[in-house]
Chains A and B, each alone.
Chain A
Amino acid sequence: MSHGQLLVFEVTILVLAIFLGFEVISKVPTLLHTPLMSGTNAIHGIVIVGAMLVMGAGNKDTLTWVIGFVAVILASANVVGGFVVTDRMLEMFKRRRPERAPAGEDGKPPPQ
């Protein structure tokens, strides 16, 4: 594939991703907007791939080494922190139990 073709291909993917993003995100209820933010935060941690490619290269000079190392640290903080925080939040949204129907004092369901 020539460079020009590759570029067009990448731009196509980019444009489709914009529409896909809007489509998927518009279905997220207001209730979950904070987890949406932290979840997407975790997703942009994918920049770690870029950081690894910089850091992992064979013959690199000191400057690249330093930039790459800092980039790996930042990106992995982003990835781990993002997913953990989102998980903690979503856990709270998950534990919904119908416990609020007033149970008897001994824990038995109230008589109908």
Chain B
Amino acid sequence: MKLSSVALRRVVLVSLGALLVMALVYVVMRSGPLAPTRVTVVQATEGRLTPALFGIGTVEARRSYLIGPTVAGRVRAVAVDVGDTVKAGQLLAEMDPVDLDERVAALDASVARAGSAVAAAEAQRHDAQARKELAAVNARRYVELGQQNFISAGAVEARLQEQASADAVVTAATANLAAARLDQQRLAAERGGLRRQRANVRLLAPADGVVTSRDAEPGSTVVAGQAALRLIEPSSLWVKVRLDQARSAGLAAGLPAQVVLRSNPGQALAGKVARVEAVSDSVTEERVAQVGFDQAPAGLSVGELAEVTLSLPATASAVLLPNAAIKRLQAQVGVWVIDDGTLRFAPVRIGQASLDGQVQILEGLKAGTTVIVHSEKDLGTHSRITVVGSLAGRQP
């Protein structure tokens, strides 16, 4: 009885000890340097991917107008306000004409006076003409009388001289009349010019549009070229997209685009690349493209941030891998491949990538190869691994 109790105790103690040793072995094998690294794997598959480019941009107007005076002056009236829709030719604002109206009135008077001067010159010419005709008649009669010797030669010569004089007076009167007419024309032209200047202080809308800013109020002074109002054409709104140069291969006009506005993140608007700018930004290392909307949404605001995804045509069929599998060992890009249970680093050449993280493998890997995607830590050739379903988190 006593013996058996001792034996029982011994069994319990030994089993406790064995349990402890097992726990230690388990702990040592599962953590620390002897523990295998847990990894997830994927089979390389053959397929096509649709690469896409992603960039952010702002909504801008293709055509915007700065409305301002051509000479410095004071604003007299502003007829429109921000948000107003205006038609081409509509009066938007008017500058103070200062003395232009008075100068036009003065020229009006001058032109009228020139008209009077023309009338006077005309009358003088008529007078001279009448004198000339009388002198001609007189001269003819005296010449005939002189031939019959009724009168002295001196009297005849006096009449001839009278006639010549009258001719000269007519010529002078004709010239006077022409001068008066030219004077009138000059004054009329000057008045026309002044009227054009007067019209120029009226700022008119160059095209149909919406007023986006009212920069000057009546009474304020603006210099030549400074904008008093800004207009945009709402039908010409597009998105100026900036794309990272490193990820802009394939960017071309005509690519289909999905535009997501910050004000409405749930809705993707369809569009198209309207233009790719020839000059890219060397400081930010970005390329610039303009994306037009297929159908511009209502209430679009200029300057709004937009995320733009451009879809490129699908690539040719190639081996595809998730980008998490691509590792870099010193200077080589490659993937960790499991070959018959052993770990091997296979250098690969990678091609295009899609936005959902698939990468084209151009060289160095066959379809169906088992490749490590996720790992708990950096791997080496001698790493011990165990393959598990997933390491953390849920798959997107």
A is bound by B = no
**A interface vs B, CB < 8 Å?**
none
**B interface vs A, CB < 8 Å?**
none
